[in-house]
């Protein structure tokens, strides 16, 4: 698995231009990583792509 430093982190378009109080997401074939944009040195949360898809399915409702 590649390190999270090599991942392409992105924020939601709903985050606004201020950049505070956001989470960032990086997606690989093995996992989806989620981190706090204010403290990127902390270990990110890692979930399976299936779990991430489930989560997004529930938030869209």
What CA–CA distance (Å, rounded) separates 18 from 31? 28
Q: Which residue positions in the chain have pLDDT lower than 70?
A: 1-6, 14-20, 61
CB contact at 8 A, 36 and 42: yes
pLDDT of residue 12: 73
Q: Would you kindly state where each structural domain of the chain is located, as residue ranges?
A: 4-59
* pTM value surpassing 0.85: no
- What is the rounded distance in angstroms from the CA atom of residue 43 to the CA atom of residue 14? 24
What does the pLDDT look like over 16-27, one tens digit per residue? 666 567 889 999
Cα–Cα dist 20/29, whole Å? 28
Strands (E), the chain: 10-11, 23-27, 32-36, 45-47
């Amino acid at each position: 698995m590649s390190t999270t430093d090599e991942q392409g982190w992105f924020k939601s378009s709903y985050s606004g231009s201020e950049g505070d109080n956001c989470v960032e997401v990086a997606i690989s074939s093995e996992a989806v990583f989620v981190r706090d944009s204010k403290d990127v040195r902390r270990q990110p949360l890692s979930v399976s792509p299936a779990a991430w898809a489930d989560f997004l399915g529930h938030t869209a409702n």
